[in-house]
A = this chain, B = another copy of it.
Amino acid sequence: MSNTPLDRASREQELPGSIRDGRSALSVTDRLREAILGGEIGTGVRLNEVRLSQTMEVSRTPVRAALQALAGEGLLDYVPNRGFLVRTFPLSEIVDAYDIRAQLEGLATRFAAERGLSVQDRDVIEQALSDGDALLDKGVFETGDMSRYRIINGNFHDTILGAAKNRMLGEMIRICHHVPVSSNRNIVAFEHRNVRRRHDDHHRIYEAILSREPHRAEALMREHVAGIKSLLVNTLKRQTVGDDGNRALPDFGE
């Protein structure tokens, strides 16, 4: 297990190049985060401050600030006198993240039901619901529909989260979303039927919130998110057993 110079160089860090392509308007932290979440940097690698600063064309100071921040988000590990390394998420933690999200988003939905929705909230959600209906009533997905629904879905969830009026909860859920997938084997394929079902979930959740049924709203949302975990686990099982080519289909959130 001795480290040849070549070993170290390849394992530690290659400069993806696309890091510095991004408009430098984006903060260093954001660029780094995207590079990690996008898989450009790879899990487990040790981040070299001087090399990063050269790649990003800034000094070490903002790089260090970004590393500190990302470590706070749980994306990096810090070892004294050894710097920061990209944290590796074992498969179990990736799967668990969906359970955590289910609990937290369920709780957020309960809060939203307890505290009520503003008219703006209702507008956004109703728009999301009808847009989704329109998209799904066609019966099939055309090009771009996936990412369109991804946005619709995001609006729905974000609005409920905002209505929960709890910042800490929002941050925790955000962290759950930022768990980097260790490999693209974990990507879940969504068929039209599944999305239809999940969109119907949205309708029911919204009704439960409107009719001020916190407990029911919470249970519905919890189940809604827990369903994604099931999809993921099933996909993984199929791949592990059969490994039958249909991996890496585009996921679009939930």
Measured CB to CB, the residues of A under 8 A from B are 64-65, 68-69, 71-74, 92-93, 96-97, 99-100, 103-104, 106-107, 111, 165-169, 171-172, 175-176, 179
Quick check: A100 and B104 within 8 Å, CB to CB?
Answer: yes
* Interchain nearest-CB distance for A83 vs B (Å): 12
| Chain B residue nearest to A102 in the complex (CB) | B107
Quick check: A107 and B103 within 8 Å, CB to CB?
Answer: yes
List 5 A–B pairs whose Cβ atoms lie within 8 Å, in order of A's numbering. Answer: A72-B72, A96-B169, A100-B104, A100-B107, A100-B169
Complex: A166 Cα to B99 Cα, angstroms: 11
Complex: A162 Cα to B104 Cα, angstroms: 20
* Interchain nearest-CB distance for A72 vs B (Å): 1
**Which residue of B64, B68, B106, B165 is within 8 Å of A72 (Cβ)?**
B68
Known contacts A69-B68, A100-B104, A107-B100, A74 near B165 by CB under 8 Å: no
Q: In the assembled complex, which residues on chain B have CB atoms less than 8 Å from the CB atom of A74?
A: 168, 171
| Chain B residue nearest to A67 in the complex (CB) | B68
Of listed A73, A99, A165, A166, residue having the most chain B CB within 10 A: A166
Q: In the assembled complex, which residues on chain B have CB atoms less than 8 Å from the CB atom of A97?
A: 168
| Chain B residue nearest to A80 in the complex (CB) | B27
Quick check: A99 and B92 within 8 Å, CB to CB?
Answer: no
Closest 4 CB pairs of A and B: A72-B72, A68-B68, A103-B103, A96-B166
**Which residue of B71, B106, B111, B172 is within 8 Å of A172 (Cβ)?**
B172
Q: In the assembled complex, which residues on chain B have CB atoms less than 8 Å from the CB atom of A106?
A: 103
Q: In the assembled complex, which residues on chain B have CB atoms less than 8 Å from the CB atom of A69?
A: 68, 71-72
Q: In the assembled complex, which residues on chain B have CB atoms less than 8 Å from the CB atom of A100?
A: 104, 107, 166, 168-169, 172
* Interchain nearest-CB distance for A115 vs B (Å): 9
Q: In the assembled complex, which residues on chain B have CB atoms less than 8 Å from the CB atom of A71?
A: 69, 72
Quick check: B168 and A179 within 8 Å, CB to CB?
Answer: yes
Complex: A254 Cα to B165 Cα, angstroms: 26
Complex: A175 Cα to B167 Cα, angstroms: 13
Complex: A167 Cα to B165 Cα, angstroms: 26
Complex: A96 Cα to B168 Cα, angstroms: 9
